[in-house]
Amino acid sequence: MRMIHHDRQDYPVSVAEQEALVDAILNGDAEPTVIFTEHPPLYTIGTSGSEADVLSRCIDGESIAVYATGRGGEVTYHGPGQLLCYVMADLRAEQDLHRHVHRLEEAIIRTLADFGIQAGRDPRGIGVWVGGKKIAAVGVRCRKWITFHGIALNIHPNLRHFSGIVPCGMADAPVTSMQTLGSDAGRDQVEQVVYSHCAIFSSPGA
């Protein structure tokens, strides 16, 4: 799987890049791709989300933008210190979006294990969890069985920014980060480990 790295992108620019890649893959002009990036502080509202779950657009004096987006899921936060892994995978042969979501979670679970953090799934919702707290959120969209959007891993974000929303529609689902759990890993290091697990997206039956 090809990798694209950006230090930081505005959210609309990122979505436009993903949509262009989806079209290119459909036309046979690009291969499946993972984009690693970071965004300025913002909240996104998924197709199951509601403006009512955005409680504040200003945290500690910092303004936080809000975007409606076509990905699945509800409301989530993106910002500095969080690694966005946007995966354009080709599911035309498989046509199983649930398995794709499972792979996104699995790639992050394996990554965290490499950093000594035991993570897993939780019956309360999709994503990756540690001790009842969410450390990575998942939201995907699929066009003609090419996926985009993906998973956001909290490395060392400002967790206060999550107080402005009801994360993923669950008021009782506190969030955590790798830093909070004792890891001092930087983004570049985490990104390389995540990428080492991206072969899972090309593994039928995984």
- Which residue type, as a one-letter code, is found at position 80? P
Q: Which among 58, 85, 142, 168 is annotated as catalytic?
A: 168
Alpha helices (H) in 48-145, listed in sequence order: 97-114
CB 206 within 8 Å of CB 103: yes
- At residue 79, the 3 state secondary structure works out as coil
Residue from 132, 136, 133 nearest 151 by CA:
136
Q: Note if 168 is an active site residue.
A: yes
Residue among 134, 136, 128 nearest 170 (CA): 134
First to last CA, the chain: 15
DSSP assignment of 131-156 equals TTEEEEEEEEEEETTEEEEEEEEESS
161 contacts: CB under 8 Å, gap ≥ 6: 41, 59, 62, 64, 77, 79
Bridge partners (DSSP) of residue 76 are: 44
Task: Please give the positions annotated as active site.
Answer: 168
